[in-house]
Amino acid sequence: MGAIGKPVARVDGPAKVTGTATYAAEFHPENMAYAALVHGTIPRGWIKSIATDAAESVPGVIAVVTHLNAPRLPWKPVDAAPVDPGEGEQLRPLHSDEILFAGQPIALVIAESQETARAAAALVSFTCVPSDGAGLVFDRARARPPSDGTRESYPAEWERGDAEGAFASAPRRIEGSYLQPRLFHNAMEPHATIAAWDDEGKLTLWDKSQWVDNVRDQITRNFGLAEDEVRVISPFVGGAFGSALRCWPHVTMAAMAARIARRPVRLELTRRELYTAVGYRPYTLQDVKLAADEDGRLRSVIQTAYGLTSAYEDYGEEVLDPVGMLYDTMSARTVYRLVELDTNTPTPMRGPGAVTGVFALEMAIDEMADAMDMDPLEFRLKNYAERDLKKDLPFSSKALRSCYETAALRFGWEKRDPRRRAMHDGNMLVGYGMATAVWPAMQAPASVRIRLFANGTAVVRTAASDMGPGTYTSMTQVAADRLDLPVERVTFELGDSSLPMAPVHGGSMTMASVGNAVAAGCKKLRDDIARLDGAEDGEHPVETLMRLRRDSFEVDGAAEPGAEAGTHSSYAFGAVFAEVRVDPDFGTVRVPRLVGAYDGGVIVNPRTARSQAIGGMVQGIGMALMEAGEWDDRLGRVMNANLAEYLVPVHADVEELEAVFVESEDRIFNPLGVKGIAEIALCGVAPAIANAVWHATGLRIRELPLTPDRLLMAEQAARTS
């Protein structure tokens, strides 16, 4: 039937738009109670006293839990999952009187209704004693190498050739510092957990999760349970962008509350709590130095990143991974440092690391092109890397050239006046800018169970997640394709830790991982049926089952990365072109047009893929122009911890978006030929817009977001200098 590559409408679309898709907070086990949290207000110190009587006396309150009466959990050591920081210890909620950051949960109220729980939580009073900690001011003088020496992905130092020497001796040089603020996932669905213990002491969790197996493993160890005593259910996730990768403290607290109340308890976080209870993209300061020959050949790239982490966990990310591989440059050097603050731990957010690093690198590349008087696209093509010089391996596939060409053509790049501040539309300054996008293609072991029925239907099951990209749909297509069945006859089930093991739904690797497991499982199913006694050559497996009078046939399938990781370098690529309109009087920026072309390997569903890409573009408009968690470095709090003041693009901020997937397949990387298309879609958008703003105005603003105040101040500085 060839279901792969078809623009199939989301199989879960009707359930989602009619409200029958059930998200974590929407399950209603019988006799459920509700929990609300109380938060500490100082950034570091100790709880001296805590008074719960007033809350306890509210009618409908079942219990108030603090560190004084919380059950002592075993907290068995957890092997750091790939989504956890390699060093440090996760927050143990209600475990002791120690306060590590402002907003840390210090009490939990359980009540008959959500409203009662929240109202009673407001009546819990407490006093705290401040103590010295890591501090609240992001100061690069306090930077240190990441303490986790085991992760090769973010080395403290890395170098090819003599980067400083090449920089010093090159005829053309630029350098600059770039700032990306603290960014929050702000998915539509708030995090929520419902916990229920049964009479045998088994725990069921309905949780918002990108990795149900990981939540099961962590909760199993926190509570000292056996693996089969915890089940995590998460059939629908209303966006996550990385915020639901880890098992956060509220999950443990929900399970704790349900044990104390002896009934199911729901703990749903408020929007404000999402700024402290889960992670965020860390504030990151970067210095970039580029050097080139007179003819426009890059000779040296030196990039230093200072990332924010908490005082209790060492969160690092691959900010500098693209530096050594994105361009063909003989020498390159990266330095990665962390700055600890008394704050909650950062976590991956869509395109963690690469989005941050590429923002600085692609703005710097643009500045270098300008310094060379070269077209920014021509400059990038001149330094095109045909091989991954960092790993010293060939790419398993790379269609970036075709991304550049396709996007430039569709955008109309040739209409760009190379001079800055030269294009106008009435009073508006018009700018064209572009940037490269890159994201590592990854695959992890995954498994599935497939049952084919003689009535011509099939059910595929795995513990994977679908946070919105359309996993239900695209996996249904892979199975339908490989079983030669209509898409309507295949059902895909996911989001349950009792199903066959699946890896984290992150890193844009679900299709490469689970998709290849589905394909492998389908092949095994067909092979096994073809080997049944009485099977005939060339007949469809459904015909075999019918003829042999078997109701159904089931197999387990699995896939894992092949040996190509050692012989090839695999990345998804993209090129993003942006048009901006800047009001020179008000400093406001609009983005009338974005065009992105992507090399993501085989596209299983062009419709959901386009949705991914334009979603990333919208998020990129937010990153470029609006989003920032404003940190108060006296109180240690994010001041705009709500969706009224943390601005994200709304419909009126978004105009024309065009996403194209160039012809590409990567059969070296995996049998399906897919590379992953989620995170690549955010990468490159912010620098493309910032480069367009420079082209429109002549102002090089190296701090995100490009808000009107920054533009006006830069304009004023440019006039007076």
Q: How far is the CB of 506 from ligand MOS (least distance, A)?
A: 3
Task: By CB under 6 A, tell whether 245 contacts ligand MOS.
Answer: yes
In the complex, the smallest distance separating the C-beta of residue 574 from ligand MOS, rounded to whole angstroms, is: 16
Write out the H or E segment, with its range, that includes residue 177: strand 172-180
The count of chain residues that interact with ligand MOS, using the rule CB under 6 A, is 10
Counting other chains too, the contacts that 410-419 makes at CB distance below 8 Å and 24 or more residues apart are 410/595, 410/597, 410/658, 410/660, 411/577, 411/579, 411/593, 411/595, 413/377, 413/577, 416/375, 416/695, 418/375
List residues bridging with 37 in a β-sheet: 108
* Among the listed residues 572, 144, 595, the one whose alpha carbon sits nearest the alpha carbon of residue 321: 572
> Minimum distance between the CB of residue 240 and ligand MOS, rounded to whole angstroms?
6
Where does residue 120 rank: exposed (0-12), middle (13-18), buried (19+ CB within 10 A)?
buried
**In whole angstroms, how close is the CB of 281 to ligand MOS at the nearest point?**
9
Interface residue with ligand MOS, options 158, 241, 312, 395 (CB under 6 A): 241
Print the binding letters for residues 542-581 with ligand MOS: x by CB under 6 A, - otherwise: ----------------------------------------
Q: Which is nearer to ligand MOS, 349 or 490 (CB)?
A: 349
Contact 170, 293 (CB under 8 A): yes
Catalytic residues: 679
CA-closest candidate to residue 559, choices 526, 520, 523, 527: 520
| Residue 116: CB minimum distance to ligand MOS, A | 35
Alpha-carbon Rg for the chain, nearest whole angstrom, is: 26
How far apart, in whole angstroms, are the C-alpha atoms of residue 441 and residue 510? Answer: 10
Of the two residues 123 and 623, which places its CB atom closer to ligand MOS in the complex? 623
Report the Cα 546 to chain-centroid distance in Å.
45
| Alpha-carbon span 229 to 219, nearest angstrom | 10
Asked whether position 468 contacts ligand MOS by CB under 6 A, the answer is no
Going by C-alpha positions, the residue among 449, 571, 573, 574 that lies closest to residue 514 is 449
Residue among 174 and 183 whose Cβ is closer to ligand MOS: 183
- Residue closer to ligand MOS by CB (options 105, 684) is 684
Cα separation, 709 vs 696, in Å, equals: 17
397 closest CA partner among 575, 558, 598: 598
CA distances from 107 to 21, 55, 56, 326 (A): 32, 11, 12, 48
Q: Which of 284, 346, 326, 325 is nearest to 623 (CA)?
A: 284
Site for ligand MOS in 209-228 (CB under 6 A): 210
CB closer to ligand MOS, 146 vs 351? 351
Q: Which of 85, 88, 242, 596 binds ligand MOS (CB under 6 A)?
A: 242
Stretch that binds ligand MOS, among 40-48, 156-164, 239-247, 475-483 (CB under 6 A): 239-247
User: Quick one: which H or E segment has residue 362?
Assistant: helix 354-371
Least distance (Å) from ligand MOS to the CB of residue 236? Answer: 16
Residues 301-360 within binding reach of ligand MOS (CB under 6 A)? 348-350, 352
- DSSP class of residue 645? T
Residue 435 Cβ vs ligand MOS, minimum distance, rounded to whole Å? 20
Question: Which residue is it, tokens 């019988």?
Answer: 30
**Is 279 a binder of ligand MOS (CB under 6 A)?**
no
Q: Which is nearer to ligand MOS, 587 or 616 (CB)?
A: 616
- Binding mask of the shown chain, residues 192 to 211, with x at each position contacting ligand MOS by CB under 6 A: ------------------x-
Judged by beta carbon, residue 81 or residue 535, the one nearer ligand MOS is 81
Interface with ligand MOS, residue 246, by CB under 6 A: no
Residue 178, classed as helix, strand or coil, is strand
**Shortest Å distance, C-beta 615 to ligand MOS:** 13
For residue 271, the SS3 value is coil
Q: Which is nearer to ligand MOS, 236 or 577 (CB)?
A: 236
What spatial distance separates the first Cα and last Cα of the chain, rounded to whole Å? 66
Scanning 241-249, 448-456, 595-603, 638-646 for contacts with ligand MOS by CB under 6 A, the matching segment is 241-249
Residue 658 CB, nearest approach to ligand MOS (Å) = 24
Q: Is 239 left (phi over 0), alpha (psi -120 to 50) or beta?
A: left
Decide: is 506 part of the binding site for ligand MOS (CB under 6 A). Answer: yes
- Residue 506's SS3 state is coil
Query: Looking at 240-248, 597-605, 690-698, 703-711, which segment touches ligand MOS (CB under 6 A)?
Result: 240-248
3-class secondary-structure state, position 95: coil
Q: Which is nearer to ligand MOS, 436 or 510 (CB)?
A: 510
233: nearest Cα among 196, 178, 283, 199: 196
What residues does 125 pair with on adjacent strands? 51
Q: What are the backbone angles phi and psi of residue 435, rounded to the nearest 5°?
A: -155, 160
Q: Shortest gap between Cβ of 349 and ligand MOS (angstroms)? A: 5
Choose the stretch contacting ligand MOS; rule: CB under 6 A; options: 138-146, 237-245, 571-579, 668-676.
237-245
Query: Which window, 48-56, 238-246, 437-445, 699-707, contacts ligand MOS (CB under 6 A)?
Result: 238-246
- Considering only residues 322, 324, 357, 507, which one is a binding residue for ligand MOS as defined by CB under 6 A? 507
Residues found near ligand MOS in the complex (CB under 6 A): 210, 241-242, 245, 348-350, 352, 506-507
